[in-house]
Amino acid sequence: MKLIQSYRYDAPGYDPTFISDGWQAAFLNYAPAEALESIVKLDIHHETDEVFVLLRGHAVLIAATIDGKISYDLVDMVPGVIYNIPRETWHKIAMSQGSSVCIVEKSNTHISDFDFYDLSPSQRKELQEAVNNLKCLI
pLDDT digits (tens, 9 = 90+) for 31-85: 999 999 999 999 999 999 999 999 999 999 999 999 989 999 999 999 999 999 9
Q: How far apart are CA 138 and CA 134, in angstroms?
A: 9
User: Is 5 inside a domain boundary?
Assistant: no
- pLDDT of the residue at 45: 95
User: Is 68 inside a domain boundary?
Assistant: yes
- pLDDT of the residue at 137: 61
User: Is 55 inside a domain boundary?
Assistant: yes
pTM for the predicted model, two decimal places: 0.92
User: Is 128 inside a domain boundary?
Assistant: yes
Instruction: List the beta bridge partners of residue 15.
Output: 27
138 pLDDT tier (thresholds 50, 70, 90): low
- pLDDT of the residue at 134: 87
Domain range for 114:
15-132
CATH number at residue 122: 2.60.120.10
Q: CB of 64 within 8 A of CB of 91?
A: yes
Tally of structural domains, the chain: 1
User: Is 4 inside a domain boundary?
Assistant: no
Element (H, E) at 67: strand 59-67
User: Is 6 inside a domain boundary?
Assistant: no
How far, rounded to the nearest angstrom, does the alpha carbon of residue 121 sit from its chain's CA centroid? 21
User: Is 53 inside a domain boundary?
Assistant: yes
